[in-house]
Amino acid sequence: QKEVEQNSGPLSVPEGAIASLNCTYSDRGSQSFFWYRQYSGKSPELIMFIYSNGDKEDGRFTAQLNKASQYVSLLIRDSQPSDSATYLCAVNRGSSNTGKLIFGQGTTLQVKP
Amino acid sequence: KAGVTQTPRYLIKTRGQQVTLSCSPISGHRSVSWYQQTPGQGLQFLFEYFSETQRNKGNFPGRFSGRQFSNSRSEMNVSTLELGDSALYLCASKTGTPNTEAFFGQGTRLTVV
């Protein structure tokens, strides 16, 4: 079992729809969680960061964290073609102040006009 | 506020050579982590430096090494390059305090021929 698992997709949604991306992790001691967006040939860009159970909203993006069930999700409302990218889920391994992030394989999102 | 800066952006090296990559973190960030990204393995953690000390290490051979200077800038060195070392090398910086974001640089694309 991988430490961080994501469905590789592609996840295809029409423009204006809600895209839902999911991620599960195996280390129950993980404390902080990241969602990055990566366009082809570019570096990962931080979209959301969450460390408390519940929802965190930032514009069209909502991160949801459930530590009991060991999953974290990302909702993208009013999806745009420019949201088409690979979304990487990352988990802070060990203490939350360290820089060791474990990444999932990423979910490819396609937003169709 | 300047972001994370990596140099050079692109490198072509021959098998057996060595290479040094540089990463300047965001001002005030003391943690620098290095990652290797390949199509097959995804994003993998190499090591983390904090206050000039290696704080975490991933599962890479000893040919991969790094260091951090007093101004938090970090270098990564790969000796005796192999074809399989061709990858996008990314560094990420964090403040080093609990539950804070990690931001990536633009990466160095290394091609070994």
Q: What is the pLDDT along chain A (113 residues), one digit of tens a residue?
A: 789 999 988 999 999 999 999 999 999 889 899 999 999 999 999 999 999 999 999 999 999 999 999 999 999 999 999 999 999 999 997 777 788 999 999 999 999 99
- For the stretch B49-95, pLDDT in tens is 999 999 999 999 999 999 999 999 999 999 999 999 999 999 999 99
Residues 6+ apart with CB under 8 A from A69: none
| Count of CB pairs separated by less than 8 Å, A with B | 74
Q: What is the pLDDT of residue B1?
A: 62
CA B42, chain centre distance (Å):
15
Distance from CA of A42 to the nearest CA of B (A): 7
d(CA B110, CA B27): 26
d(CA B86, CA A12): 31
Q: What is the pLDDT of residue A5?
A: 96
Tokens standing for residue A32: 């902080």
Q: What is the pLDDT of residue B7?
A: 97
Residues 6+ apart with CB under 8 A from A59: none
Provide, as residue numbers in chain B, all residues whose Cβ is less than 8 Å from the Cβ of A67: none
* Beta strands A54-58 and A61-66, pairing class: antiparallel
d(CA B31, CA A16): 39
Q: Would you say A54 and A68 are in contact if contact means Cβ atoms under 8 Å apart?
A: no
d(CA A109, CA A90): 17
Distance from CA of A53 to the nearest CA of B (A): 13
CA B111, chain centre distance (Å):
15
Residue B8 has pLDDT above 70, yes or no: yes
Residue B112 has pLDDT above 90, yes or no: yes
Q: Which of B26, B31, B99 to mutate to test the interface with A (most CBs of A within 10 A)?
A: B99
Determine the residue type at B78: V
B111 touches chain A (CB under 8 A): no
Q: Would you say B75 and B82 are in contact if contact means Cβ atoms under 8 Å apart?
A: no
d(CA A56, CA B94): 20
Give backbone dihedrals phi and psi of A10, rounded to 5 degrees, phi first. -75, 145
Residue B100 has pLDDT above 90, yes or no: no
Per-residue buried b or exposed e for A77-99, using 16+ beta carbons within 10 Å of the residue's own CB: eebeeebbbbbbbbbbbeebbbb
Q: What is the pLDDT of residue B2?
A: 76
Tell me what the mean pLDDT of segment B89-103 comes to: 91
d(CA A92, CA A31): 6
Q: What is the pLDDT of residue B28?
A: 94
Q: How confident is the model at residue B96 (pLDDT cuts 50, 70, 90)?
A: confident
A51–B104 C-beta distance less than 8 A: no
B66 touches chain A (CB under 8 A): no
